[in-house]
């Protein structure tokens, strides 16, 4: 674009100098005193002036056309540059929109789901008869997978307590520590424990939820009180339920 401007200015300068030269020629011709000259000289001078005038008109015409051509070319180039700039602006807006959409999708994707009001049928699963070591492993796997939408990377492990017919539950997981996730996490654990409270077979529930860097977010143990209700003995609790 800079080269175009310089070229345009150079051409316009040449045209201006040519026209200025023609003006100087006519000025010098008009200064000639013909009062004391012969008729032949005056006739030749008039013919010369007419010829120079035709040259001047030709120079003026060519210069005008050249100037119009240069200006037209410059305007076309400016329009093309403006079109390119507009295209870049449109691309930038589109890119910003795509980035915003991706961020929104990513944020939505990482957001925990709310624990279902109907629960996860924990009682039906944990009180099934004729459980073996193999079925226990499958139960742990199924429950861990069922908890994934509500506690990311959830891993649930069952173990028998000192009493033959009671269970201890260890629940671990990892979530992205956004404010929204912490709120939902606390609510989900509260709903999970509300469902687990109805299962008399469960004696204790140990919970340890960390963030992506491994820092504790929700850590402690739920134990039953004298009324059979779960109470939380906290070690560190940041989830808001």
User: Confidence band (pLDDT; 50, 70, 90) for 3?
Assistant: low
Average pLDDT, the chain: 80
- pTM for the model stands at 0.53
Q: Measured between alpha carbons, how far is 111 from 105 in angstroms, rounded to an integer?
A: 10
CB 218 within 8 A of CB 238: yes
* pLDDT digits 0-9 by tens, 158-201: 887 555 578 889 999 988 888 888 888 999 999 999 999 988 88
* pLDDT digits 0-9 by tens, 78-100: 888 888 888 898 888 888 888 77
Task: Please name the residue ranges forming H helices in the chain.
Answer: 2-30, 39-110, 122-126, 133-147, 179-197
Nearest to 229 by CA among 208, 199, 207: 199
* pLDDT digits 0-9 by tens, 98-138: 877 766 555 555 688 899 988 888 888 877 665 666 788 88
Q: What is the pLDDT of residue 48?
A: 79
Does residue 209 surpass a pLDDT of 70?
Answer: yes
């Amino acid at each position: 674009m800079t080269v175009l401007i310089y070229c345009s200015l150079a051409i316009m300068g040449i045209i201006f100098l040519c026209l200025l030269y023609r003006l100087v020629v006519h000025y010098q011709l008009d200064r000639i005193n013909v009062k004391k000259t012969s008729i032949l000289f005056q006739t030749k001078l008039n013919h010369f002036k007419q010829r120079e005038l035709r040259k001047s008109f030709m120079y003026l015409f060519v210069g005008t056309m050249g100037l119009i051509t240069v200006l037209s070319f410059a305007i076309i180039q400016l329009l093309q540059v403006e079109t390119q700039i507009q295209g870049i602006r449109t691309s930038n807006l589109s890119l910003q929109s795509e980035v915003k959409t991706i961020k929104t999708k990513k944020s939505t994707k990482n957001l925990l789901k709310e624990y279902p009001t109907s629960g996860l049928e924990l009682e039906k699963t944990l009180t099934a008869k004729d459980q073996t070591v193999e079925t226990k492993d499958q139960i742990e796997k199924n429950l861990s997978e069922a908890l994934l939408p509500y506690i990311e990377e959830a891993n649930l492990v069952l173990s028998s307590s000192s009493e033959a017919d009671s269970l201890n539950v260890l629940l671990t997981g990892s979530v992205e520590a956004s404010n929204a996730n912490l709120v939902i996490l606390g609510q989900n654990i509260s709903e999970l424990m509300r469902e687990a409270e109805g299962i008399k077979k469960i004696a204790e529930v140990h919970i340890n939820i960390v963030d992506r860097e491994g820092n504790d977010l929700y850590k402690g143990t739920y134990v039953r009180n004298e009324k059979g209700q779960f109470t939380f003995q906290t070690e560190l609790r940041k989830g808001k339920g």
